[in-house]
Amino acid sequence: MNKVNLQSDECVIRKSSKVRHSGFMVSYKNELILTNLNIIYVKKGMFGRTKDVQTFPINQIKMYEGKPQVMLGKQKNGSPSLEIYFFNGQEIFGFKRKTEVVKWIRCINQVLCKEADSAATGQFAIPGTELIAETIKDTITSFKSILWNREKVSANCTACGAVITGYKGENIKCNYCDTFQKIQ
């Protein structure tokens, strides 16, 4: 495919030129287009002709706590980049200006948050989203419980009676008499 063909319900939200995809020695001559459905990378050849078109569906962007995993990064040469985490990998687009990346992040956020809202009201179904949200929630819950188990407690040193503090079950040394003991 070497032409940008938008679907009938696909609208352009943002378009930037002077973009490059990850890779060395690639000049900033390509285009990046955000629609309500896709991120489209348009490779330009000689005389600005379209050489290649790559499409990245935005419903494949990972979400965390309702926010798409899209962030401002830095390329090896120090220029800003737009980092997008898709279910099947990360894509990095190099930009010349940081402000442009920030605008892209804001737009992607707006589009995806709107979609998530409509998904909640049942207008759109995003396959797999619910399952992923559940998995993340479980992970957070178990992570929290690990933290909670490490409850900070204070007790009296078994040797000298001084107050000692530490995490429950931890082997600690009394500051006064240097006795090692398990704090409960």
- Kindly list the residues in this chain that would bind Zn ion in the complex (CB under 5 A): 157, 159-160, 162, 174, 176-177, 179
| Closest C-alpha among 88, 68, 82, 71 to residue 32 | 82
Phi, psi (5° rounding) for residue 58? -75, -15
- Which candidate, 91, 71, 95, 72, places its Cα nearest to that of 19? 95
Q: Which is nearer to Zn ion, 19 or 174 (by Cβ)?
A: 174
CB of 112 to Zn ion, least distance (A): 57
Please state the closest distance from residue 171 (CB atom) to Zn ion, in A. 14
Structure tokens at 11: 């609208």
Residue number, 37 or 157, with CB nearest to Zn ion: 157
The tokens describing 61, both together, are 């962007």
Tell me the CB-side half-sphere exposure of residue 74, using CA atoms within 13 A. 3
Residue 150 CB, nearest approach to Zn ion (Å): 22
Question: Which amino acid, one-letter code, is at 75?
Answer: Q
Tell me the chain's radius of gyration from C-alpha atoms: 25
- How far apart are CB 90 and Zn ion at their closest, in Å? 52
Q: What's the closest the beta carbon of residue 117 comes to Zn ion, in angstroms? A: 59
Residue 139 amino acid letter: T
Q: Which two tokens stand for residue 127?
A: 């396959």
User: CB 166 → Zn ion: shortest distance, Å?
Assistant: 13
| 78 CA to centre of own chain | 20
Which stretch of DSSP H or E encloses residue 87?
none
